[in-house]
């Protein structure tokens, strides 16, 4: 009887080692004494087709002989693929021989071909045989227990050849010619096992957590390996996993709980696991049960501040183990273990929804930092088995040391200021005192200030700080004492440093002023932290130190400093300056500053906010358009406005309200001009602008009645923004959603981005009267349409959906989310203020101040600021070049300006020139040069096309890919002349406004050369031309 079981794992399989366990049974002594035996003749040790197995045996009593073949693959052990038996009742006490023909399945012995698909990788094949007494053998149970009852047994291990070392089978079938040829193309191709592990690095670079709702979103896919995926699916209600998370707390939660790790389902519900921190330092772990309910437990850990902790959370079935490791140094750790067993099965599907490290829209994050986060998808590992070291160790150790040092500084400053305040109170003059006070001061004990409580060691360690406080004590003794005095002192120090640096020759003081910036940073004034990060990463005045640059970037971002958030978002987006490219990490920072930008827009009265203007310093026309209150252009505009010119009044109001075109903000005067132009009831836009100012009270006293009247009038004149504004008014102040939607839809039909966004909000919250249930898909469609029109809040919402992918039939794309957010973040008013200061300084000839402001903006990833920084470096080499010891200034920032999705055309041209000529320490690279010129050409730069043509004329080769992108045809017969003529024509067409451009001259030269070549190759035509020239000369 022959049985085959085709149930082994098929190729391709995950390459891992497994072991075969062979069952052994003790042979009864009685059987040996009776002479019973069974053995194989050892002829062949390799698995082959038609294997002849020769067996010798002897039975002393009626017996049954069983022969079995057991195979093991990579993931299946002990699979029976063949079994047979026979009885021996007559030939007793006689040695017998029997040959059994084993026919192994083709997928075990032959190589894969057209007919044999999915061969099996076999680890071992075991032949085994045994003898049992016939009266002991149970016909009904078969052979399951017979091996254990054997009188005698034997086994033999055969070696199975690897799939690609096996022979091809000689088939008796024929293939059609075309099928055979197709097979021949792939017959020798060896597939590779896909590299896949169940260990996931959820976070491999530190993350600054501000305690808000902007965490790192991660989404996991199904395993590619079918065996891993099968295990994962089977364990949905019996899970095994481990999360290992490093955290560093600066303060406890502001709310009752905050998030460390969150798992959010497709329906925006919490799933397993949810790791939380309470406001007293305890850890809560919540799971989602198979019954649909949630359950949680609290571990009384009492985490301390300013110490690195590793939290290892493992789940095995219903048992949760939490290991809390306090990391004091590389040699000193303290472990604390907590265990809890849930009384019901736990549901877990890690491909459902998404994970968030830190805060989400539903729960804020911790205040501090996240270190490495590792996830074991299929293993419940103990502390010893988890491999998740603190990395990068040097930077994170220094971060802890930095905060310890800053704690000391924060203790010194308030004490000094308190004693300074006592001194101010004692020496204060010009105050009327009582007569008793006069007598007490005359005859009683005079008041004295407290003694400074510092010893000699403190004076030595903090000499710079104490000296700084002593030299600035007059400024410190004035002002409001109810403010955060430490942060106020930090701001004072930072402004003092900037004042020195922006003086003529001040940039040479960078190294000597570093201690003051560090003090300012320790005081919690994180503009100083951002500036320190820029100095270290760009190498301004000292060698590049990426560790220190990363450190101060994280410190500043944790303090919610806007430029630092943009800086980290940009660096992680590009993967430059030692930061790993990670769009999810970039999104967490951009989402934060994007939300700030949305809020900042309504706080225009802030003096440090200006509209971001994209003005290149190399654009002379744009520079001439800039004005100020003393400029002739401004005076003329003001004169026209005074005369009643409606357009002048509206432009003047907008310039003063937003601080545009070099004019300082003046909200009160802007409102005056808005009012004058609006009250004429002729300009709908002016009336709408004034209505918003009146309703919201921007710079004026609120007047909803007049504001609504102006808005209605503007709407009746067809102003789309006013129609949307009426919808906003009815939804906000009247709670009349039906009327609000009517206005929103009317405005949306006319292209109002605000109306589209408002309709999206209504769908998201279930406010739409015709569709009262929440509809995220409809909301997203409206948000997306508004986003494409540039609506800031809509972009924030749209990017969230791209980051999470938590919509039906929607593909997650964090890169698109980052691209959306970066554009609106660069419209932030505080960045606009820095750009404005840089431009004003440049126009006034203050190179140092212009350079520093543009440098700070450039490090946030703003392309215009990068181009302008490089321009200043080019224009004033003596000022800047001595400061950059590692990077070349113009090379660094022109190069960075080309890395954007729509890179700087000027940057491409400059980098093309640098590669062409060889810039300082950079050697010539013609292929890269042509690539840079090509990118400029694709942006319709006539200069880029002209330079490409120049390379071809010099004999350099421009790749076919570049010419194809430019849609330039090639002709082998006509040669490069044909290509040059097309390029110069394209270049000429782009310079239509110039009567005689370099491109038109070059085209004329090429055409003349072509014509002259034709003349020279035609004898008759050459003679005719010569004759004509002779006649002309004679005439």
Domain 199-391 sits in CATH 3.40.50.720 = no
Residues 149-192 have pLDDT tens digits of: 788 999 999 988 888 888 888 887 787 777 777 777 766 666 66
Residue 629 in this model has a pLDDT that exceeds 70: no
- Residue 419's CB: how many other CB atoms inside 10 A? 16
pLDDT of 780 strictly over 70: yes
State whether the Cα torsion 468-469-471-476 is positive or negative: positive
- Asked if the domains at 620-664+666-718 and 904-1035 fall in one CATH topology, the answer is yes
Q: For the chain, what is the mean pLDDT?
A: 85
**From residue 55, how far is each of 70, 152, 158, 485, 722 by CA, in Å?**
17, 13, 15, 96, 98
Residue-level pLDDT at 193: 63
pLDDT tens for 928-964 read 999 999 999 999 999 999 999 999 999 898 888 888 8
Residue 416 is predicted with a pLDDT of 75
Which of 191, 188, 371, 353 shows the shortest CA–CA distance to 274?
353
Q: Domain ranges in the chain?
A: 29-158, 199-391, 405-426+454-559, 620-664+666-718, 904-1035
Least confident of 506-515, 626-635, 722-731: 626-635
Q: Label residues 804-832 b or e (16+ Cβ within 10 Å = b).
A: bbbeeeeebebbbbbbbbbbbbbbbbbbb
Q: Domain spanning 29-158: which superfamily? A: Immunoglobulins (2.60.40.10)
Where does the pLDDT of residue 278 fall: very low under 50, low under 70, confident under 90, or very high at 90 and above? Answer: very high
Residues above pLDDT 70, as percent of the chain: 86
The DSSP secondary structure of 594-618, one letter per residue, reads: HHHHHHHTT-TT-TT--------TT
The pTM of the full predicted model, rounded to 2 decimals, is: 0.82
610 or 764: which carries more pLDDT confidence?
764
Strands (E) in 33-102, as ranges, are 37-40, 51-58, 63-73, 79-88, 96-102
- pLDDT tens by residue, 533-554: 999 999 998 999 999 999 999 9
Residue 33 pLDDT class (50, 70, 90 cuts): low
Alpha helices (H) along 110-204: 177-186
> Higher model confidence: residue 414 or residue 265?
265
Dihedral sign computed on CA atoms, order 433, 434, 435, 441? negative
DSSP one-letter code for 628? -
> Which one is predicted more confidently, 148 or 655?
655
The pLDDT tens digits for 180-205 are: 777 777 666 666 666 789 999 999 99
Please state the rounded mean pLDDT for residues 641-648. Answer: 78
How many Cβ atoms from other residues are within 10 Å of residue 587's Cβ? 29
Q: What is the pLDDT of residues 965-990, one digit of tens each?
A: 888 887 665 678 888 888 999 999 88
Residue 834 and residue 869: Cα distance in Å, rounded? 13
Query: How many other CB atoms sit within 10 Å of the CB of residue 170?
Result: 6
Q: Per residue in 368-418, pLDDT tens?
A: 999 999 999 999 988 889 999 999 999 999 999 999 999 888 888 777 777
Backbone angles phi, psi at 809, to 5 degrees: 55, 40
Query: Residues 617, 618, 619, 623: is their CA dihedral positive or negative?
Result: positive
pLDDT in tens, 793-852: 999 999 999 999 999 888 999 999 999 999 999 999 999 999 999 999 999 999 999 999
- Find the mean pLDDT for residues 339-356: 96
Q: What is the 3-state secondary structure (H, E, C) of 367-432?
A: EEEEEEEEEECCCCCCHHHCCCCCCCHHHHHHHHHHHHHHHHHHHHHHHHHHHHHHHHHHHCCCCC
Determine the Cα–Cα distance for residues 134 and 7; give it in Å rounded to an integer. 31
The per-residue pLDDT for range 1001-1033, each reduced to its tens digit, is 988 888 888 887 777 777 776 677 677 766 777
Cβ count near 463 (within 10 Å): 11
Q: Mean per-residue pLDDT for 857-870?
A: 96
Q: What pLDDT, on a 0 to 100 scale, did the predictor assign at position 1? A: 38
pLDDT of residue 3: 38
Q: What is the pLDDT of residues 658-669, one digit of tens each?
A: 777 777 777 778
Highest mean pLDDT among 108-112, 421-425, 466-470, 682-686: 108-112
* CATH code for the structural domain at 904-1035: 1.25.40
Whole-angstrom distance, CA of residue 722 vs CA of residue 719: 5
Sequence-separated (6 or more) residues with CB below 8 Å from residue 294: 270, 286, 287, 288
Q: Which of 243-252, 479-488, 731-740 has the highest mean pLDDT?
A: 243-252
pLDDT of residue 482: 46
What pLDDT band is residue 18 in, cutting at 50, 70 and 90? very low
Q: pLDDT tens for residues 41-91?
A: 866 888 888 889 999 999 999 999 999 999 988 667 888 989 999 999 998
Q: In what order do the strands lie in the sheet containing 79-88? A: 79-88, 63-73, 122-133, 152-158
8 Å CB contact between 344 and 290: yes
| Whole-number pLDDT of residue 480 | 47
748 sits in which H/E element: helix 737-749
Closest residue by Cα to residue 860 from 590, 639, 493:
590
> What residues does 70 pair with on adjacent strands?
80, 126
DSSP strand E in 252-301: where? 257-264, 274-278, 283-288, 294-299
The residue among 200, 210, 216 whose CA lies nearest residue 572 is: 216
CATH class of the domain defined by 620-664+666-718: mainly alpha
């Amino acid at each position: 009887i022959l049985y085959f079981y085709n149930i082994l794992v098929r190729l391709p399989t995950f390459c891992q080692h497994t072991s075969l366990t062979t069952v052994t049974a003790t042979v009864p002594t009685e059987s040996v004494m009776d002479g019973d035996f069974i053995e194989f003749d050892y002829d062949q040790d390799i698995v082959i087709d038609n294997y002849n197995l020769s067996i010798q045996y002897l039975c002393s009593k009626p017996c049954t002989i069983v022969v079995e073949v057991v195979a093991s693959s990579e993931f299946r052990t002990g699979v029976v693929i063949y079994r047979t038996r026979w009885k021996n009742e007559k030939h007793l006490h006689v040695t017998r021989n029997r040959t059994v023909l084993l026919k192994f399945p083709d997928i075990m012995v032959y190589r894969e071909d057209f007919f044999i698909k999915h061969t099996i990788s076999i680890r071992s094949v075991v032949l085994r045989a045994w003898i049992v007494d016939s009266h002991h053998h149970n016909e009904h149970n078969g052979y399951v227990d017979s091996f254990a009852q054997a009188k005698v047994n034997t086994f033999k291990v055969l070696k199975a050849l690897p799939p690609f070392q096996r022979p091809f089978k000689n088939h008796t079938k024929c293939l059609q010619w075309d099928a055979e040829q197709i097979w021949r193309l792939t017959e020798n191709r060896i597939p590779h096992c896909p590299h896949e592990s169940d260990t996931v690095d959820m976070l491999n670079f530190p993350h600054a957590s501000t305690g808000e709702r902007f965490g790192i979103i991660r989404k996991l896919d199904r395993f590619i390996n079918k065996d891993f995926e099968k295990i994962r699916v089977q364990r949905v209600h019996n899970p095994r996993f481990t999360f290992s998370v490093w955290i560093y707390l600066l303060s406890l939660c502001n709310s009752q709980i905050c998030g460390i790790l969150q798992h959010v389902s497709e329906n925006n519900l919490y799933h397993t696991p949810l790791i939380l921190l309470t406001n007293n330092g305890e850890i809560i772990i919540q799971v989602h049960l198979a019954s649909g309910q949630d359950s949680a437990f609290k571990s009384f850990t009492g985490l301390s501040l300013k110490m690195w902790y590793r939290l290892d959370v493992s789940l095995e079935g219903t048992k949760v183990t939490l290991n809390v490791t306090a990391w004091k140094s590389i040699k000193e750790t303290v472990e604390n273990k907590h265990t809890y067993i849930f009384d019901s099965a736990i549901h877990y599907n890690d491909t459902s929804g998404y994970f968030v490290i830190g805060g989400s829209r539903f729960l804020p994050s911790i205040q501090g930092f996240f270190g490495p986060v590792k996830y074991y998808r299929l293993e419940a590992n103990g502390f010893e088995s988890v491999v998740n070291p603190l990395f990068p160790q040097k930077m994170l150790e220094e971060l802890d040391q930095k905060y310890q040092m800053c704690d000391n500084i924060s203790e010194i400053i308030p004490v000094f200021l308190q004693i300074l305040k006592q001194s101010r109170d004692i020496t204060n003059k010009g105050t009327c005192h009582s007569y008793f006070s006069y007598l007490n001061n005359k005859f009683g004990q005079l008041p004295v200030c407290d003694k400074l409580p510092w010893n000699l060691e403190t004076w030595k360690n903090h000499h710079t700080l104490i000296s700084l406080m002593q030299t600035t004590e007059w400024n410190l003794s004035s002002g409001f004492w109810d403010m955060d005095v430490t942060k106020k002192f930090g701001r004072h120090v930072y402004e003092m440093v900037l004042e020195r640096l922006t003086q003529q020759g001040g940039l040479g003081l960078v190294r000597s002023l570093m201690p003051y910036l560090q003090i300012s940073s320790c005081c919690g004034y994180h503009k100083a932290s951002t500036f320190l990060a820029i100095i270290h990463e760009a190498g301004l005045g000292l060698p590049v130190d990426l560790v220190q640059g990363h450190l101060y970037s994280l410190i500043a971002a944790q303090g919610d400093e806007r430029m630092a958030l943009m800086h980290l978002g940009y660096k992680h987006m590009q993967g430059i300056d030692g930061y790993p490219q990670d769009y999810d990490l970039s999104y967490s920072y951009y989402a934060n500053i994007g939300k700030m930008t949305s809020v900042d827009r309504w706080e225009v009265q802030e003096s440090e906010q200006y509209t971001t203007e994209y003005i290149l310093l190399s654009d002379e026309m744009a520079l001439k358009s800039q004005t100020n209150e003393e400029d002739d252009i401004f005076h003329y505009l003001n004169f026209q406005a005074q005369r009643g010119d409606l357009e002048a009044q509206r432009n003047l109001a907008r310039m003063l309200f937003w601080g545009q075109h070099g004019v300082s903000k003046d909200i009160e005067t802007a409102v005056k001009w808005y009012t004058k132009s609006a009250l004429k009831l002729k300009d709908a836009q002016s009336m709408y602008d004034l209505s918003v100012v009146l309703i919201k009270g921007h710079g004026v006293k609120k007047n909803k009645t007049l504001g609504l009247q102006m808005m209605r009038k503007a709407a009746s004149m067809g102003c789309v923004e006013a129609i949307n504004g009426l919808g906003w008014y009815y939804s906000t102040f009247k709670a009349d959603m039906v009327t609000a939607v009517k206005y929103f839809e009317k405005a949306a039909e006319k292209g109002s981005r605000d109306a589209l966004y408002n309709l999206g909000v209504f769908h998201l919250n279930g406010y739409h009267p015709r569709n009262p249930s929440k509809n995220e898909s409809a909301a997203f469609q409206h948000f997306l349409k508004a986003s494409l029109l540039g609506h800031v809040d809509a972009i924030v919402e749209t990017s969230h959906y791209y980051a999470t992918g938590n919509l039906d039939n929607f593909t997650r794309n964090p890169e698109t989310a980052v691209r959306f957010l970066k554009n609106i973040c660069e419209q932030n008013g505080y960045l606009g203020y820095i750009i404005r200061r840089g431009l004003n300084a440049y126009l006034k000839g203050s190179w140092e101040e212009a350079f520093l402001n543009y440098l700070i903006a450039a490090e946030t990833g703003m392309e215009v600021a990068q181009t302008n920084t490089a321009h200043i470096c080019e224009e004033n080499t003596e000022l800047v070049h001595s400061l950059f010891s590692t990077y070349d200034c113009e090379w660094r920032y022109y190069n960075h300006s080309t890395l954007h999705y729509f890179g700087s055309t000027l940057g491409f041209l400059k980098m093309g020139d640098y590669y062409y000529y060889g810039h300082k320490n950079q050697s010539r690279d013609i292929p890269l040069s042509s690539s840079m010129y090509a990118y400029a050409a694709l942006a319709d730069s006539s200069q880029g096309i002209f330079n490409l043509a120049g390379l071809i004329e010099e004999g350099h080769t421009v790749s076919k890919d570049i010419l194809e992108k430019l849609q330039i045809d090639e002709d082998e017969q006509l040669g490069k002349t044909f290509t040059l003529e097309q390029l110069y024509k394209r270049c000429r067409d782009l310079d239509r406004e110039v009567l005689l451009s370099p491109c038109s001259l070059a085209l004329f030269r090429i055409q003349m050369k072509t014509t002259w070549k034709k003349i020279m190759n035609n004898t008759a035509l050459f003679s005719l031309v010569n004759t004509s020239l002779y006649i002309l000369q004679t005439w």
